[in-house]
């Protein structure tokens, strides 16, 4: 068993069934926030097609991203002993992601999510199966551990404690934390050992506000508030407005990479950004260099259906970087 992994992702794996809606509408507040997808209640709603994508989820997407960029990648995850689980394993293998640390649960189903895809965005119906989470000590000391979305409940919180204990015993391992919905809702206190051990932390603006419990619009204050919870480096993404990074001393703003054509579907944009940033650091790049890599993979992913088809190789990413406009660079603010 290969032990010298560069990148070990931890989190739930799922299958996404993309349902392309035809007759729907979106209603937003005046500032285009708090949007709601609306369909006729009690009616038969036509759809265009369904596309099933295996072995996805925040951590699976990150593991595949790291593998495409040339890192030795593995995933700590949980699957059921059903056909969906078998196909997820096969898909991860095709992408050169080791599943040695993935546990197959007898009599359990594999996570299966439904993605309601309308225009260029989506609403995801999620259900995390109730797995008996346990952290495999054989993970050892990879360069980076990348922790993201797992299920809810006491078993899941105990699992986070196991991860924190492993990191305490392996201080040379760096932790990237991209919290999922349940981890954000849990709050800082329940996961403070993880926050305090985090090297680099990824959230979007809305998630950052929820974590600090304050509607803070000043991005510098928002970055500082999240940084005060323990992470050494905080990255906050802000959609078309780009991303912001704070390392405790400097704040940078990074613009998005220009889209070659309008986005097709946005699932996985955040995962590709975060995992590419971490992969760049694992490959020895600086924070500022990593900032120029991450938006490129996000740009590519949203040109395809699903979170993984558009993930780039290092060679292709560097091609885009070489052709970037002159103002595509991080700026200290």
Q: Does the pLDDT of residue 200 top 90, yes or no? A: yes
Complete edge-to-edge strand list for the sheet that includes strand 111-118: 47-56, 14-21, 111-118, 121-125
User: Alpha helices, DSSP H only, in 54-106?
Assistant: 58-68, 83-94
* Domains and their CATH numbers in the chain: 7-14+56-110+129-332 (3.40.1190.20)
Q: Does the pLDDT of residue 1 top 70, yes or no? A: no
- Tokens read off for 59: 């951590």
Query: Shortest CA distance to 306 belongs to which of 11, 49, 15?
Result: 15
Model pLDDT, residue 3: 65
pTM: 0.94
For 146, counting Cβ atoms within 10 Å of its Cβ (0-12 exposed, 13-18 middle, 19+ buried), the class is buried
Query: Shortest CA distance to 150 belongs to which of 213, 238, 75?
Result: 75
Model pLDDT, residue 265: 87
Share of the chain above pLDDT 90, in %: 88
Model pLDDT, residue 266: 86
pLDDT tens string 220-279: 999 999 999 999 999 999 988 999 999 999 999 999 999 999 988 888 899 999 999 999
pLDDT tens string 160-183: 999 999 999 999 999 999 999 899
The band of 2, judged by pLDDT with boundaries at 50, 70 and 90, is: low
Distance CA 45, CA 22 (A): 8
- Average pLDDT of the segment spanning 306-313: 96
Q: Does the pLDDT of residue 120 top 90, yes or no? A: no
Query: What per-residue string of b and e applies to 98-117 under the rule 16 or more CB within 10 Å gives b?
Result: bbebbeebeebebbbbbbbb
Q: Which residues contact 127 (CB under 8 A, 6 or more apart)?
A: 111, 112, 113
Bridge partners (DSSP) listed for residue 145: 8, 175
Residue predicted with more confidence, 31 or 14: 14
The band of 22, judged by pLDDT with boundaries at 50, 70 and 90, is: confident
């Amino acid at each position: 068993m290969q032990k010298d992994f560069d990148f070990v992702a931890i989190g739930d794996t799922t299958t996404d069934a993309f349902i392309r809606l035809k007759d729907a509408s979106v209603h937003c507040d005046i500032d285009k926030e708090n949007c709601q997808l609306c369909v006729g209640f009690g009616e038969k709603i036509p759809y265009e097609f369904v596309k099933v994508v295996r072995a996805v989820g925040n951590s699976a997407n990150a593991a595949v991203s790291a593998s495409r960029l040339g890192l030795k990648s593995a995933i700590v995850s949980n699957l059921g002993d059903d056909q969906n689980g078998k196909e997820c394993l096969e898909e991860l293998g095709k992408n050169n992601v080791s599943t040695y640390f993935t546990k197959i649960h007898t009599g359990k189903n594999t996570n299966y999510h439904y993605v309601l895809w309308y225009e260029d965005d989506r609403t995801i119906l999620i259900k995390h199966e109730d797995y008996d989470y346990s952290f495999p000590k054989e993970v050892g000391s990879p360069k980076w551990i990348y922790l993201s979305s797992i299920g809810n409940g006491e078993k899941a919180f105990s699992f986070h404690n196991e991860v924190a204990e492993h990191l305490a015993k392996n201080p040379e391992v760096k932790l990237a934390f991209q919290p999922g919905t349940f981890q954000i809702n849990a709050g800082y206190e329940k996961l403070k050992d993880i926050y305090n051990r985090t090297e680099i932390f990824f959230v979007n603006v809305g998630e950052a506000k929820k974590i600090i419990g304050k509607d803070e619009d000043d991005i510098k204050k928002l970055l500082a508030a999240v940084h005060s919870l323990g992470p050494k480096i905080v990255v906050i993404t802000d959609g078309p407005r780009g991303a912001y990074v704070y390392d405790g001393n400097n704040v940078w703003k990074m613009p998005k990479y220009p889209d070659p054509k309008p986005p097709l579907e946005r699932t996985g944009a955040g995962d590709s950004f975060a995992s590419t940033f971490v992969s760049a650091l694992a490959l020895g790049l600086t924070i500022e260099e990593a900032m120029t890599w991450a938006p490129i993979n996000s740009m590519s992913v949203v040109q395809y259906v699903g979170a993984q088809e558009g993930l780039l190789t290092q060679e292709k990413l560097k091609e885009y970087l070489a052709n970037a406009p002159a103002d595509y660079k991080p700026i200290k603010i």
